[in-house]
Amino acid sequence: MFRELVAAVEPVVSTGELLKNVEALRSTDRWFTFPKFMETALYIRRRLKDAGLRAEILEHPADGRTAVGDWVMPLAWDAGEATLTLLAPDARAGEVLARRSECPPALCMYSAPTPAGGVECDLLDVDETIDAVGKGSLEADRPQALARALKERGLAGHAAFTRRDPRNIKAAVAHAGGIGIVSAFSPDPEGLPEETFWVNGWSDRIGGWVATAHDSRLWGFMLTPRGGEGMAALLAAGGVRVRAEVDARLYEGVLPLVSGLLAGETADEVLCVGHVFEQGANDNASGGSAMLEAARVLARLVERGALPRPRRGIRFLFVQECYGTLAYAVGNAARLAHTAAALNLDCVGENQRLCRMPMPVNGCPHANPSVAETAMLRLCEEYLHRRDPYFAWYPERFSLGDTLIADPAFGVPCVYLGGKDRFWHTTADTLDKIDPDALALVTVVSAVYLHALASAGRREAAALGEEAAARARGDLARLASRFAARLADVSGGRRAEVLREAAERLAYLRDVRIAQVHSAVHLAARDERLETRGDLREPIRRLRRAAREEGAHLARLARRFAAEAGEPEPVGAEPAEPAPAGALARVPVRLVAGPVSLDTLSDEELEGRPSPRWSGKLTSALFWCDGRRKLAEVLRLARLETGRPTEDLAGDFEFLERRGLVELRDRPGSRRMRRKRASG
């Protein structure tokens, strides 16, 4: 399925083109302003058109008010020069601590402007105050308590200094009357003491992201960790006074999205999505570059007849992370219904030796499994290992990002290549961290994956279904072997508990993988799907039998171990449990598409809750809501998928119902999710 494609694609992929694109994308995105985002979009559109694709720039509101799903779109932001200058102590008066023109991340994204000529203020170290408040406050009232403590410190009219993430204290500083924040935060202060962290959000909400129309207007400067040590020493020695000058504006503008289509023979599509508009070379000029090169190579090969025109079109989307993807998904639900699979590229060009990061291959959510994941794993195993045995990668579970289109509400299974390295969101994410040969490998894999799935028919679908079933049988055997070891290590009643847990885990894995095998049907042509279902019956039958055999083997082991220990025979059957009551007995129906962020709620409606936009547990649970499962079953499935307790999510669902994001019904209804609040 892949060998001929690799042979056609690999010679045409150019490391020179890849590096040129990385440099071009980063040259504008490193400033991370909305006018620069449009420059990036214009460059991408031009490159796509030059390659022969149908390319256009779509514009979404960047007004800080428009809701898309449960997310509120950002305000547009532009910035010129910004400086932070020491005024006192006198011995260092006039020293410039931060200058945006020399280091763009020295100014926090979405910072508010200062009056012409800047503002002068004292700088107060607030870390001890933060620690003191943290010891005596509940998480829900911490921002209010911190604001009161900072006001008592005399922060009004002055700026706060911290070595913590400034986003976590922004609201408290604003409520205390502070006018700005100076931070030396870094995720790795010891490893990257001379690098500045990029703050790409300026929300007042805990767990928030971008700045919206409702957020306070503060400026923020970032120092290196070493610079922060020096500032802490200055503050400990006496008063520090600074002048902040920020030329910036927050305004209602547009958020661009670039779409390029390599047309297929039908209206069906396969999608490649990646965010741009970030300051780093690897994050994510590398992903954007790989997408541009994959588009160029595929269009060239199809035009020359070296590759057939695919049955499905291949669409490339260049977006702002999550916000652009969600806006596109909500506004193009009909198109996504005809999209068979997707690929997300994010941080795929790193020099693995320098970045100390193998490439994760993130699979699909269990609520929307797909043989697209099987196709990618096979490609990585066959091509990457053969081409470069030292290129490191590993399979990983679903990770939320631009992969949000894999939400069953949108229904597009999405595989994600990439992950955060140690230079993520810092000034160390520069061109010298890019390995052009590694980036070329990922580009080949991406182009082959996209064309293969775009061209797949009954034969390819059945082959992937067969392979997915075979991999599932191996995974069942490995899971059973782990439980066999546990059965040997426990005694008494605990052996029965392990046996029951094994039965539940085996049944769960079986069902998810059967759904994955079934998904192969969607890769066949519409008039081939009935026959493809028939092709998949035997692989599914063998998978079911393998699960039964592994369960029976574990039961025999448990009986043998118990007999050898002189213990009663363990009973692996699940004990009867009381029927779920209250919210657990009701059926959750989602009222918005996409992850829940709580952006659309007022401060009062939040009830002190942080945004759950990156909560893997809640996202998993929401994805399992199909309008028919009771909440108890949804939480059980989320527990099995994430490996984490989920009982606490029952209260979250009751909260989401109070706020109109979920409806808890007394009986099952339609599987279709209502889109009451979704807009685009």
**Cα atoms found within 13 Å of the Cα of residue 662, Cβ hemisphere only:** 31
Given the structure tokens 């002189």, which residue do they identify?
A: 566
Regarding whether 622 and 526 lie in a shared domain, the answer is no
- Among 435, 455, 475, the domain boundary falls at 455
| Number of domains the chain is built from | 4
Same domain for 218 and 267, yes or no, is no
* Residue 570 within any structural domain of the chain: no
Phi then psi for residue 359, to 5 deg, are -85, 120
CB 434 within 8 A of CB 22: yes
Q: Which pTM value belongs to this model? A: 0.96
Same-domain pairing of 356 and 439:
yes
Query: In this structure, are 260 and 181 located in the same domain?
Result: no
Does 364 share its domain with 430?
Answer: yes
CB 400 within 8 A of CB 356: no
Tokens 């659309």 — which residue? 600
Nearest to 370 by CA among 340, 410, 336, 403: 340
Phi and psi, residue 256, nearest 5°: -80, 150
Closest C-alpha among 8, 23, 5 to residue 292: 23
Please report, for the domain that includes residue 301, its CATH number.
Answer: 3.40.630.10
Q: Do 367 and 282 fall within a single domain?
A: yes
- 306/451 same-domain check: yes
Q: Which long-range contacts (CB under 8 A, 24 or more apart) does 33-37 make?
A: 33/77, 33/78, 33/79, 34/62, 34/76, 34/77, 34/78, 34/253, 34/254, 34/255, 35/78, 37/255, 37/256, 37/276, 37/277, 37/320
Burial of residue 238 (number of CB atoms within 10 Å: 0-12, 13-18, 19+): exposed
Indicate the range of 10-14, 27-31, 487-491, 532-536 predicted with least confidence.
487-491
Domain boundary among 564, 599, 617: 564
Whether 396 and 506 share a structural domain: no
Q: Tell me the pLDDT tens digit for each residue of 430-477.
A: 999 999 999 999 999 999 999 999 999 999 999 999 999 999 999 999
Domain range for 187: 80-251
220 plus 296 within the same structural domain: no
In this prediction, residue 180 carries a pLDDT of 98
Q: Label residue 578 by pLDDT band (50, 70, 90).
A: confident
One domain, residues 449 and 507: no
Per residue in 199-244, pLDDT tens? Answer: 999 999 989 999 999 999 999 999 999 999 999 999 999 999 999 9
pLDDT computed for residue 675 by the predictor = 39
- Residue 96 falls within a domain, yes or no? yes
> Is the same domain home to 152 and 212?
yes
Is residue 53 in some structural domain? yes
